[in-house]
Structure 1
């Protein structure tokens, strides 16, 4: 029998499963840490100056109400299941961290009376000074905020932001957590959202072992960079612990080249990366954007190739676009411009595009060309977008071979960097299209 309207009964089932699991797994991690002969702390000297605010135990406790209600705001079964998987993953990852890296809160909390004191007493009845990094409060805060903000508008949404900010601050002002627990909690929270995206399958389901040696070389380089950042954070500690962020970012990029592919970046139909990918990959994305601007500083504007098709780097958000259609083949940088027609066929940087991705990019160019001028872009406009344009040149009859297309490109865009491996991929894409027949043009 199918449920009509909101999936109330399924929400109750998920709550009945995750509620007890939350307390049992959290309590088990507390109990095991309590039995250890020594549990360390990671604390900065300035944390003792954080003012203890007893009243913030109220927003601290309120996350439990938001947790329970979150199951019932979901309007569809798929949304509910996705949200429940995020909460389950949050619990599993957090408890795993508590067991592998137990930490203890080291400051002595002031005595508190009245209602606030009673709330602290109830809390401390099951919550010991362990289970620190990541703060499960912060992990859940991220997951719950993503769910609620999608259902609220106007003043209610503003009120949500304010109250959730208070919940986030309360983990410090109630003297429940050290500072390191906050950024680690944010990271785990976004990782849970990234693992269970609102659209499409989970990134691990995209895994296909890379066959190209260049991809494994890049995967090794990014993995080495990740390990280097992690080692520096471990050796120097203190503020060097922030290097864990680029370490995580580079690790995800390494996994992209090893097998996850462009799914790591979660580029959406409007050209933006998902919020989770933007947070997790922020250090890498900043470096990639700076790199693209440095290499193209002497040629920031797109170049006309032939017949209204332009080739260039990812346009700036403020750059006026003189073309109605943009075909974006960059996986790692978000498209922030304004185009009447936008198509994206994401490809990994420095890796050889697959013949299928080149075929789809050429098809997108052909569709856009029927409307007028087309800008084909990637991070630099040197390789991926050039290979896509070269494939279109062959399909459109402007060139009769991959070599001829590359030669034609080089006449107006001498900076393009297409190697023998790109030429082979272009040839295979042309053969693939010949097998599939003419492009299917949208009505």
Structure 2
């Protein structure tokens, strides 16, 4: 009760800050843009067939109430602070976008009277017909939708989905915004949702970028910049790929948790959608590399190593090392664990320890385990070699690597992998305490 009272007081405090911030910034930007003469509209031809439905003003206006309620739903101070920061960032990005790319709604709305007419009159006192691009309502709709889902029982979540879908439709059927505004608003909402997630992401380890990680950061950032330029000047859909590649570059710089993959192998809705273009490219790459190599290679009677499983799996347990793909549907009938690792980068000692420990637990409890990464060539290989050194009779790293290579000749372990394995071998042979940690 004491915590709830504290959270309610903080929620009131946040609203005292957020409400004026929202109203003042939005109004000032509207007034400034109203003085400009270079405001255009972006309208698709099919939008002329969107009907005007006055009654949808009710879900449209309900967002203001949901905005306030969201802060009172939080179960902790940290969650409440994250939610407030999400709302502040939404208004800030929207206002900046309003100033840089102002757009105008071009349709003439019919005169509405009666009950719904009163609501439209109230709305018009605040909402001018300028600055529609990066529609704030849609940004907030996405953020509040994700927030309310976290506080709704699963059996009732369909109500949340339906109501927020109505809100999304209402921005078109009340003739408040064009479709381009909705697309931009959703994109910004998802970006904020990725940047400040609803749930706090646990920090599994401290990421210190290595030389290879820094190179990949630069490559992905450069590719994102190229796509951004082409997207702005020629092909707008490339902006989606640019944002996707930017997020991946952040993951190589800040660590694998930048693209948070849950213990169940799932991404947040925002991350899943934002990374879709990059994931398509990775799927094509995976197919090109794996079409001529075995999907699964047995290491011994208990451990199997392979690429991302696209067909049914016979093993009872799965250890997934990918960060670029969600859990494969073919593994839903198996016990599943994941230790996400960056592709083309040597894992940290802590990640290796976690993966080996998890592999041994799965082997002990379920007897047969498939450990996989994307191609089944490096990440899974280094974990299997480390496991053999810890739990089998191999005395040297070279012996263990040779054995694994005999079972799966295509594996690729570079000098950094070998250095890590040598250090791993020293740790578990010279310090029994480290071996106990692996067994935990």
TM-score above 0.5, yes or no: yes
> Alpha carbons of 1:192 and 1:321: their partners in 2 closer, same or farther (altered >3 Å)?
farther
Offset at residue 12 of structure 1 (A):
1.6
Gaps of 5+ in 2: none
Offset at residue 49 of structure 1 (A):
3.0
Q: Report the counterpart of residue 329 of structure 1 in structure 2.
A: 321
Q: Report the counterpart of residue 230 of structure 1 in structure 2.
A: 228
Gaps of 5+ in 1: none
Offset at residue 198 of structure 1 (A):
4.0
In the TM superposition, what whole-angstrom CA distance separates every residue of 1:331-382 from its partner, at most 9, and x where no partner exists? 1111242366433221111122223322322222233332222221111111
Q: Report the counterpart of residue 15 of structure 2 in structure 1.
A: 15
Aligned length: 435
2:202 and 2:186 map into 1 onto residues whose CA distance is 19
Matches within 5 A, 1:197-346: 197-201=197-201, 210-212=209-211, 214-236=212-234, 240-257=235-252, 259-299=253-293, 301-316=295-310, 319-323=312-316, 325-336=317-328, 337-338=331-332, 341-346=335-340
Q: Report the counterpart of residue 185 of structure 1 in structure 2.
A: 185
2:283 and 2:261 map into 1 onto residues whose CA distance is 15
1:293 and 1:439 map into 2 onto residues whose CA distance is 39
Offset at residue 160 of structure 1 (A):
2.3
Offset at residue 414 of structure 1 (A):
0.9
1:362 and 1:320 map into 2 onto residues whose CA distance is 21
Give the one of 416, 425, 437 matched to 2:434.
437
How does the TM-score come out when normalised to structure 2? 0.90
Offset at residue 229 of structure 1 (A):
2.3
> Alpha carbons of 1:151 and 1:44: their partners in 2 closer, same or farther (altered >3 Å)?
same
1:4 and 1:432 map into 2 onto residues whose CA distance is 48
> Alpha carbons of 1:32 and 1:201: their partners in 2 closer, same or farther (altered >3 Å)?
farther
Matches within 5 A, 1:44-443: 44-153=44-153, 156-201=156-201, 210-212=209-211, 214-236=212-234, 240-257=235-252, 259-299=253-293, 301-316=295-310, 319-323=312-316, 325-336=317-328, 337-338=331-332, 341-371=335-365, 372-433=367-428, 434-435=430-431, 437-440=434-437
In the TM superposition, what whole-angstrom CA distance separates every residue of 1:234-281 from its partner, at most 9, and x where no partner exists? 222xxx322211110011111222x12211210111121222211221
Q: Report if aligned partners of 1:6, 1:76 keep a CA contact under 8 Å in 2.
A: no
> Alpha carbons of 1:426 and 1:155: their partners in 2 closer, same or farther (altered >3 Å)?
closer
2:60 and 2:13 map into 1 onto residues whose CA distance is 26
1:399 and 1:60 map into 2 onto residues whose CA distance is 66
2:358 and 2:58 map into 1 onto residues whose CA distance is 54
1:391 and 1:261 map into 2 onto residues whose CA distance is 22
| Range 54-63 or range 98-107, more displaced | 98-107
In the TM superposition, what whole-angstrom CA distance separates every residue of 1:151-200 from its partner, at most 9, and x where no partner exists? 33467432322221111011112222121211221122122222223444
Offset at residue 51 of structure 1 (A):
2.2
In the TM superposition, what whole-angstrom CA distance separates every residue of 1:283-318 from its partner, at most 9, and x where no partner exists? 1123323432342234463211125111012224x6
In the TM superposition, what whole-angstrom CA distance separates every residue of 1:195-244 from its partner, at most 9, and x where no partner exists? 223444499x99856231x32332233223322322222222xxx32221
Q: Report if aligned partners of 2:298, 2:305 keep a CA contact under 8 Å in 1.
A: yes
Offset at residue 42 of structure 1 (A):
2.8
> Alpha carbons of 1:113 and 1:2: their partners in 2 closer, same or farther (altered >3 Å)?
closer
